[in-house]
Amino acid sequence: MPSLLTLPTPVESGPVGLTPRRLLDLLSTVPDPRRRRGIRYRVDAILAVGIAAVLAGSRSFVAIGEWAADASTDILIGLGVTAGRRPSEATIRRAIRRIDADILDQVIGAYLWLRTGIIGGRRGIAVDGKTVRGARSRTSPAPHLVAALDHDSETVLGQVQTPAESKEIPVLRELLDRFTLEGVVVTADAMHTQRDAAAHIVTAGGDYLLTVKEEPALAAPCVQEPTVGAAARPVRGQHQPRHPGAPHHQGPASAARTGIPAVMPRASASHRSSVLDRPS
């Protein structure tokens, strides 16, 4: 599960207890950055209200405040709000803006990890980076996040912000260190097909499925060549002259030639595409 060693209170994990109460327990581990004097609502209660409002369709602090104002007393009590009170939009906004986003992300990721399943005895985690759409402001660019996605549920289990797409590689370890990789298969695109990344995954007890391309950065003396069906399928990029409309076949480079650790070059993938005539 995600590593929560940075949190003030260790969080136990297990296959049971996956209830809203479980989420509230995890939220209680988030440090409250506010001064003790004058606090009317616990930070975990404010976070619970915010999460419930977002799940109900709220997409702004104003909408969250309106949801809290309209919610029944029983619902608010269930979320940890003291009876007879309900947090205002301003209170919710101030509290959430001061919370450490990285810690909150790890807590939410821990809860989602407990709710995800496995496929064939293994858990698949896809790693990819994306720039957040619509998040650019006049003074700052949109944040670029490298996220870990659960294959089965398509749930984001964790994410790390990086200055730009070109900086994705260094943060891969930081992201994967949040998880116990025993029984996990990590998939990623060619950007992350690096010796250090592969070694880090294997050392942590995981497996990987990475895209290999014929690039100078990965060129190395052959460690092991494919032996099964090697003559029947391409292990190097192939380019053939073609006319418009003719099929084009391109195979990947041999994974064994990259020097990446723990490679089993027993299969290869191929990509087929057709170039259609463009209208004149």
C-alpha 33/C-alpha 97 separation (Å) is 10
The residues near 28 (Cβ < 8 Å, ≥ 6 apart) are 9, 42, 44
- Map out the domains of the chain as residue ranges: 32-99, 118-211
In contact, 270 and 208? CB cutoff 8 Å: no
- Please report, for residues 79, 81, 184, the alpha-carbon distance to residue 44 in angstroms, rounded to integers and kept in the order given: 9, 9, 31
Residue range 31-69, pLDDT digits in tens:
999 888 878 899 999 999 999 999 999 999 999 999 999
The residues near 111 (Cβ < 8 Å, ≥ 6 apart) are 22, 23, 26
CATH number of 118-211: 3.30.420.10
C-alpha 49/C-alpha 61 separation (Å) is 11
The pLDDT confidence band at residue 14, using thresholds 50, 70 and 90, is very low
103: Cα within 13 Å, side-chain hemisphere? 22
Residue range 111-163, pLDDT digits in tens:
888 877 777 788 899 999 988 888 788 888 888 999 999 998 888 999 998 88
pTM above 0.85, yes or no: no
Question: Measured in Å, how far apart are the chain's first and last C-alpha atoms?
Answer: 56
Q: For 11-15, which contacts have Cβ atoms below 8 Å and span 24 or more sequence positions?
A: 11/107, 11/110, 13/110, 13/113, 13/114, 14/114, 15/114
* Portion of the chain with pLDDT greater than 70, in percent: 69
DSSP H or E segment with residue 73: helix 73-78
In contact, 221 and 241? CB cutoff 8 Å: no
DSSP state of 251: P
